[in-house]
Amino acid sequence: MDVDLADLDFWRKPLKEREAAFARLRERELPVFFPEKKVPFLRSGKGFYALVRHADVVEASRNPKIFASEPAVTNPEPPGWVKQVFGESMVNMDDPRHARLRRIVTRSFSPKMLAGLQSDIEAACARIVDDVVRDGPRDFVTQVAARLPIHVICDMLDVPSELREQVHRHADISTAYTGVRPSLARSVQLAGQNMLALLALQRMVIKLGHERVAKPAGDLVSLLVNANPDGERLTDKELGSFFALLLVAGNETARNTMAHGIRLLTEHPAQRELLVSDFDAHINGAVEEMVRYVSPIMQFRRTVTADHSLRGLELRKGDKVVLFYGSANRDESVFPDADTFDITRDSKPHVGFGGPGPHFCLGANLARQELRTMFRELLTRLPGIRSVGEPELLLSNFDNSVRTQAFTF
């Protein structure tokens, strides 16, 4: 067929063409196998089966004993030395190791902790809009969408103000590496930049961890490096890996949805008018629909641990499957008229924060909180705000990121 999800050229195609290709794949009786292509600095395997239907993505997500996150969820797989240098991210772990880490960090995202952040998030949104009013509209990503999640993460960790610009810069470099690299030379350049950025971030947060062991405060780092009631705490390498994950998952989900969201409200004025007419009644539905429609993280991979039958497909131990969240979120069998942006639909079955199961996004409620608060601030104080022209998207098969989006108010 005319679709090759393993070919990076596929991800250069216009969005409408890619959506149409996924729709054709969903119509097929069985998941399609794609041989992997060689990508510089990444491991290549024999290939993967594409899980593009909502039911298949949900089944794999709910069954981690068969569909394992180890050895890695990215596709293709990074080389083995990455874990040795940077530590292992919890997204690449299965139980019991994953359960231990999630148990330690979950208390940092409790309803009580998130409620305590609300006033800080509101203040941050107000300052961001103050700056937009003062400086005038240029790029929605740099002026709005990219600022809030990093600000909130730095507040949670109590990162000193003089280090925050460094965090923002290194986070942007790390995200760029998830894009499609046009050449070997560019791959080398981005790999080197990414490595240095991640090492700098890890050194910074580990240093903060040592300070908070000696002098605990009420911040997230203090909670993670000092023992919980069960006597568990994060090691230096685990803290560094978790911080990197927080910056990617916690930053990109809210940032991408926010940047796409302002465009969606511009392109669908009736939906915008409905939201503004009764913000409190519709904002929760609007946020869920934005996440469904955008699918800020587009895919994760799983490794089959034992022979298993999936909808008639006989998978063998060692086979790879890739969960395409964006395709699952456009599955007409779950979301009628799925290509329509509708803030009144029941979007909750979406897998924009990952599928149900132990790897469901830990920071989903924080992202929702940031999105609700920022859109309230924007639509209240800048009622004429709208995107202008087409966004510049990151060329990526993983991260549905907006690089730039012109706007006005």
| 129 part of a folded domain | yes
Residue with tokens 């930049």: 193
| 73 part of a folded domain | no
Question: CATH no. for residue 61?
Answer: 1.10.630.10
CA distance 322 to 396: 15
| 186 part of a folded domain | yes
Scanning 228-382, the segments in alpha helix (DSSP H) are 236-245, 251-267, 269-277, 279-294, 325-328, 364-381
Q: What is the pLDDT of residue 2?
A: 79
Answer whether residue 275 shows pLDDT above 90. Answer: yes
| 143 part of a folded domain | yes
Q: For residue range 109-142, list pLDDT tens digits in order.
A: 888 888 989 999 999 999 999 999 999 999 999 9
Q: For residue range 72-94, list pLDDT tens digits in order.
A: 888 777 666 555 555 577 888 89
In degrees rounded to 5, what are phi and psi of residue 301? -110, 155
For the segment 360-378, the average pLDDT, to the nearest whole number, is 95
| 74 part of a folded domain | no
Q: For residue range 37-66, list pLDDT tens digits in order.
A: 776 556 667 899 999 999 999 999 999 999
pLDDT class for 180, splitting at 50, 70, 90? low
Q: Provide the token pair at 215.
A: 């002098």
- The structural domain count of the chain equals 1
Are 264 and 290 spatial neighbours (Cβ–Cβ below 8 Å)? yes
Range of the domain at 334: 8-68+79-408
pLDDT class for 204, splitting at 50, 70, 90? confident
| 276 part of a folded domain | yes
Give the list of residues 6+ apart from residue 223 with CB closer than 8 angstroms, or none: 107, 108
| 302 part of a folded domain | yes
Q: What is the pTM for the complete model shown?
A: 0.90
| 3 part of a folded domain | no
